[in-house]
Amino acid sequence: MKPFRSNLIVICLLLLNQVLAEERVQGRRSLVLNNDQSRLVIDIAGGSIPEFRFNDSKLNPLNWGSRNPGDQTGSMGHFLCCDRWGPPSDAEGKNGMPYHGESTKIVWQVLRDIEVTPAGINVQMAADLPLAGLRIDRSVTLASTSAFFLVREKITNKNKLGRIFNIVQHPTIGPPFLDENCVVDSNGRRGFAQGGLMPDPEKPEFIWPSAITKDGKKIAMRQMVDSEEPSVTSFVIDEDLGWAVASNSKRRLIFGYVWKRVDYPWFNHWWKLKDGKPHARGLEFGSTGLHQPFSVLVKKREIFGRQLFEFLDADENITKSYGCFLAKIPEDYLGVDKVAFQGDSLVIVEREKEMPLEIRISTGGLMFQ
């Protein structure tokens, strides 16, 4: 009896560490990860992350896109662009390749129930992209005690031949978090506006947080007020760690991302007004900074010394990671100057103050590989 009772106890403990993976959120098949501080929702039909917020607040920075009831695939909140960023060629489009690739057009597989580990709450998913011939294996872990989650995605080339590809994370913030008081900070540097003509689409160039409009006017991009031009801009990351943070002091919240430059050397930004008010801001980061079909990327090859695509041989894979976080801020918060890891903490340093506020968020030991 003793071996039987011992095995039964082990089985019960394992079951206690498993949480039913799937539930309905706003009528959609979803995965919900919760800890004492925060709530993270992942949409199964398309793989988007449409919600990340504190438990004591309904304010969701990722409130963007059509989150309609049902199982129709689509893009919302933070979605993934893979195997491309932007349009297919005319021929690829006729063969069914969608804008930004197939990853939001696929119902993702849940590989196992949500698992509670010492590091956090973890779920594993996958998507097979039939036209691209790529497979994405995704691991998402919400830290046990803080508003921080880590995503690892392994991209495998299932084709019998090698191919070029791109992967761009496309988080988009929306109202009410996004308003005239919301500012965006990043350590992106040299940049250019999308829409320039070959052979020099990167001209004219500028330095974040500045940009140049089509009529040659220099504008500041930290705060969105009454302009959405230039619509899409791209900036290289020079430091080992890239980051982008949106802060709204009136709503007393910051929301941001951190990633390794070797994984994602580009920060891409877009914004859109609706009825004259901020409607969407994309805090995108990825393997490319040129929003064009592969034929153009191959001709251009690189901008500012950064390659515009990656290559995977047959059966080869590559893994990329990023972290996402929330933090509460005071009403006099001025924005972000620096983001860095220190031990098991992510440190966000305020800008333009003699005694800047330092926010420390526990990662629970979750780190990039």
Average pLDDT, the chain: 93
**Closest to 74 in 3D by CA, of 39, 112, 106:** 106
What average pLDDT does the segment 116-121 reach?
A: 91
Structure confidence at residue 152 (pLDDT): 98
What average pLDDT does the segment 101-126 reach?
A: 94
Instruction: Determine the Cα–Cα distance for residues 286 and 171; give it in Å rounded to an integer.
Output: 11
Handedness of CA 181, 61, 135, 364 (dihedral sign): positive
Structure confidence at residue 70 (pLDDT): 87
- Which residue carries 């992510």 as its tokens? 346
Q: What is the secondary structure of 170-233 as a DSSP string?
A: EEEE-TTTSSTT-EEEE-EEEEEETTPPTT-TT-SEEETTEEE-TTS-EEE-SB-SS---S-EE
Handedness of CA 348, 350, 354, 357 (dihedral sign): negative
Q: What is the pLDDT of residues 255-302, one digit of tens each?
A: 999 999 999 999 999 999 999 999 999 999 999 999 999 999 999 999
Structure tokens at 142: 């919400």
Q: What is the pLDDT of residues 146-193, one digit of tens each?
A: 999 999 999 999 999 999 999 999 999 999 999 999 999 999 999 999
Supply the pTM of this predicted model. 0.94
Question: Domains in the chain and their CATH numbers?
Answer: 17-336 (2.70.98.10)
Determine what percent of the chain falls in helix, strand and coil, rounding each to the nearest 5: 5, 50, 45
Neighbours of 53 (CB within 10 A): 21
Structure confidence at residue 61 (pLDDT): 98
**Closest to 165 in 3D by CA, of 4, 298, 8:** 298
Q: What is the pLDDT of residues 326-363, one digit of tens each?
A: 999 999 999 999 999 999 999 999 999 999 999 999 99
Structure confidence at residue 11 (pLDDT): 40
Contact 169, 286 (CB under 8 A): yes
Contact 280, 172 (CB under 8 A): yes
Residues of the chain with pLDDT > 90: what percent?
89
**196 burial via Cβ count (<10 Å: 0-12, 13-18, 19+):** middle
Structure confidence at residue 10 (pLDDT): 38
Structure confidence at residue 21 (pLDDT): 63
Q: What is the pLDDT of residues 68-91, one digit of tens each?
A: 888 899 999 999 999 999 999 999
